[in-house]
Amino acid sequence: MIRVNDNFRELPSVYLFTQISRILAKYREEESPIPLIRMDIGDVPGPIANCVADAMHKAVNDLTNLNSFKGYGPEQGYSFLREIIYLKDYKERGIDIDPSVIFISDGAKCDLGNLGDILSKDCKVAVMDPSYPAYIDDNVIDGREGKLEGNKYSAITYLKCKAENNFYPELPDNQVDIIYLCSPNNPTGSVLPKEELKKWVKYAKENHSLIIFDSAYEAYIRHTDLPKSIYEIEGAKEVAIEIRSFSKTGGFTGIRCGYSVVPKVLTGYYSNGDKVELNSLWSRRQTTKFNGASYISQRGAEALYTDEGRKSVKEMTDRFIYNASNLRKLFEDAGWSVTGGTDSPYVWAGNPFGMSSYEIFETLLKECGISTTPGSGFGEEGEGYIRLSGFNTKDNTDRAIERIGKWLNDTKHKSR
Ligand SMILES: *Cc1c(COP(=O)(O)O)cnc(C)c1O
């Protein structure tokens, strides 16, 4: 008999972004009079930098030659990429980690899910509310959720992020074992300052917890006093795994490449109390279940660290921040509660009319032909909010701003 994983029954039947795509496909099918502009997108519009394309072309050529052919690579990633990450992302910024703790992956989403393999099912998990939906869904699949009560799982601790506190998560009252932090945050665009991260590192030390720090958007940070890495906080190496991705910073959403840092001083315990390095467990997991990211994508990622590559990352992220900052201004001027759009490609906008997230989502779709992401899809605290993304061309963003601006103006007059 094919017995399946019962935990799947506890999941929402479709992943949030899949559900939105279905609604939008239906909108198109119905041939609505207004052509759709997608402001819900969590994907970069591209294109990739020429230096990345050149590096990948060259990598393909390497494969055509017996002498430079590459077959299975090291599971942990090629040292050319690990060395440059070590140098540019850490050492040059005064962070002391060495290349042996960097694991190249085929993306952050995969690492986030796979990390569950090395952690006990009994670990108590805390996530920010609202947050990127994969954190909860991954843990449901692994069986760390408890029971579904309303919209929440009984064994998961929801760290409320509220406007009055800049969407910084609250420390839990209870003891938790795994804490997911995402900064700059998807969906709220909020960035945790050093003082906030210090609180979490302290909590994790006192409670023997692991922080999984998702910094997929670190390249969007412009305020130099904001931390890009959790390892900028003293003692963080003993409690945190850092997960990064070239997706949103280099346009690698389709190419697939990212990395995780698993420090050797970070240790966990077997159920009999024996101590073990998470680095060695992760290494064992990866060598068993992963055969390394593609040589071609790793050469592409390496090119992002050249002067030309870094310039292109800056230019691309600048463009999306610019779009997001204009979206932010639009809603701010209309009296909505807004975050993001400064050190982030996302804008998080709470409506002042008391409408639900789905009401706003549907209204903007019907009346303006604009798709957004309903904030409630990211958690209960997201109710009343929508997420808009700067991942678009300037033309599309400008057109969207014009349409939404008109709607905001009409709505203002109607409500008077
Ligand atoms: C997009 C995104 C990811 C996934 O990145 P990939 O490397 O493409 O898998 C992970 N975390 C957050 C918060 C994201 O927004």
Q: Ligand 1 in contact with 294 (CB < 6 A)?
A: no
Comparing CA positions, the residue from 223, 225, 204 lying closest to residue 213 is 204
- Alpha carbon nearest to ligand 1 atom 5, residue: 108
Phi-psi region of 211 (alpha: psi -120 to 50; beta: other; left: phi over 0): beta
pLDDT of 414 reads 67
Q: Ligand 1 in contact with 216 (CB < 6 A)?
A: yes
* Cα 338 from Cα 269, distance rounded (Å): 42
* Cα 231 from Cα 35, distance rounded (Å): 45
The pTM for the full model equals: 0.96
pLDDT of 84 reads 98
Q: Ligand 1 in contact with 182 (CB < 6 A)?
A: yes
Number of Cβ within 10 Å of residue 211's Cβ equals: 22
Q: How far is the CA of 110 from the centre of ligand 1 (A)?
A: 9
From first to last of the 416 residues of the chain, give the pLDDT tens digit. 999 999 999 988 777 788 888 888 888 888 777 899 999 988 999 899 999 999 999 999 999 999 999 999 999 999 999 999 999 999 999 999 999 999 999 999 999 999 999 999 999 999 999 999 999 999 999 999 999 888 899 999 999 999 999 999 999 999 999 999 999 999 999 999 999 999 999 999 999 999 999 999 999 999 999 999 999 999 999 999 999 999 999 999 999 999 999 999 999 999 999 999 999 999 999 999 999 999 999 999 999 999 999 999 999 999 999 999 999 999 999 999 999 999 999 999 999 999 999 999 999 999 999 999 999 999 999 999 999 999 999 999 999 999 999 999 988 766 54
pLDDT of 140 reads 97
Q: How far is the CA of 333 from the centre of ligand 1 (A)?
A: 30
- Alpha carbon nearest to ligand 1 atom 14, residue: 216
Q: How far is the CA of 105 from the centre of ligand 1 (A)?
A: 12
Cα separations (Å) of 301 from 219, 259, 322, 403? 14, 11, 24, 37
Do 299 and 55 touch, CB atoms closer than 8 A? yes
Q: Ligand 1 in contact with 258 (CB < 6 A)?
A: yes
**Which ligand 1 atom minimizes the distance to the CA of 109?**
9
| Probe target for ligand 1 pocket from 48, 104, 109, with the most ligand atoms within 8 Å of CB | 109
Q: How far is the CA of 258 from the centre of ligand 1 (A)?
A: 9
- Alpha carbon nearest to ligand 1 atom 15, residue: 186
Which 8-state DSSP code applies to residue 77?
-
- Alpha carbon nearest to ligand 1 atom 2, residue: 216
- Alpha carbon nearest to ligand 1 atom 12, residue: 216
Q: Ligand 1 in contact with 247 (CB < 6 A)?
A: yes
**Which ligand 1 atom minimizes the distance to the CA of 245?**
7
Q: Ligand 1 in contact with 41 (CB < 6 A)?
A: no
Q: Ligand 1 in contact with 132 (CB < 6 A)?
A: yes
- Show Cβ contacts of residue 252 under 8 Å, excluding neighbours closer than 6 positions: 48, 107, 245, 246, 258, 297, 300, 301
pLDDT of 416 reads 44
Q: Ligand 1 in contact with 245 (CB < 6 A)?
A: yes
The SS3 of residue 32 is coil
**Which ligand 1 atom minimizes the distance to the CA of 112?**
10
Q: Ligand 1 in contact with 186 (CB < 6 A)?
A: yes
| Probe target for ligand 1 pocket from 112, 186, 378, with the most ligand atoms within 8 Å of CB | 186
* Cα 152 from Cα 354, distance rounded (Å): 22
Q: Ligand 1 in contact with 267 (CB < 6 A)?
A: no
DSSP annotation string for 248-283: HHHS-TTT--EEEE--TT-EEE-TTS-EEEHHHHHH
